[in-house]
Amino acid sequence: MSNYLIDVPVVWLSRSDDFVLYGTRNLNIDCWISTPDYPLLSVVWQKTRYGVTTQLNVAISNGKYSGSSLVHPGLTINNAEFTDSGSYVCIATYLRGNGYSPAYVLNIYASALTVTIPSSTYSVLLGNQISITCTVSGSPSATNVYWMKQQTNGGSFSNVDIAGNNRYSGGTLSSPTLVINSAQFSDEGNYRCHGVNAAGDANSIVTNLDVTCSEYNIMQHGSCSLYI
């Protein structure tokens, strides 16, 4: 029986692929390396995305990556982003050559936003201000917020032109709540708040806005008249 040395290390990973939620913290990819007959010199990771291969430099990643060392050869990816999607390979270098793991494919997906209106009905006196509260939460964050309205007589929903109505404000990323000043009967209807992120378009429940006269007035011909 002849004696021989293992010249090329055997490298393998804990799994071959993952579908990971955007924002996931501490995603670990374990890398195992066979016991060498020569000292292990280094461990590096390569990433390929859209056909471009780069070597990950843990030391200058500002905490994005950790591991990829002789003591901890696995790779940890912190706060998963869409740009982390790609194919990863663990490479072990010995005196006599390199060993390459099979590719690990990482896919990042987004979760839909949660869009909330706290009440299914709102009421306001003619000429007063009303705020229809909307909160938008989730990760990744919203890239757009908008409102849709259905008239009281039914029909389809259409976009609320907030910028084109000087009585309207809100409906933005920083302030999604819809504020209507000097409410008119034409403001009555069903409203819906929408938020958009990488996962798509999410919407709130439908809420109804009712514009009324004060207890001392009655509505006549589309306006409030003093009741005598």
When pLDDT is cut at 50, 70 and 90, the band that residue 213 belongs to is confident
Total domains present in the chain: 2
> CA dihedral defined by 210, 213, 215, 218, rounded to 10 degrees?
-120
Is the model's pTM score more than 0.85?
A: no
User: Per the domain annotation, does 86 fall within a domain?
Assistant: yes
The CATH code of the domain that includes 100 is: 2.60.40.10
Task: Please report the pLDDT score of residue 6 as a whole number.
Answer: 53
- Tell me, what amino acid is at 56? L
Task: Please report the pLDDT score of residue 9 as a whole number.
Answer: 77
How many other C-beta atoms are found inside a 10 Å radius of the C-beta of residue 29? 20
- What are the phi and psi torsion angles at 62 (to 5°)? 55, 40
When pLDDT is cut at 50, 70 and 90, the band that residue 223 belongs to is low
Question: 31-42, pLDDT tens digit by residue?
Answer: 999 866 778 899
Question: 120-168, pLDDT tens digit by residue?
Answer: 999 999 999 999 999 999 999 999 999 999 987 888 999 999 999 999 9
Domain that holds residue 79: 11-109
Q: Are residues 20 and 105 in the same domain?
A: yes
Domain boundary among 79, 109, 139: 109
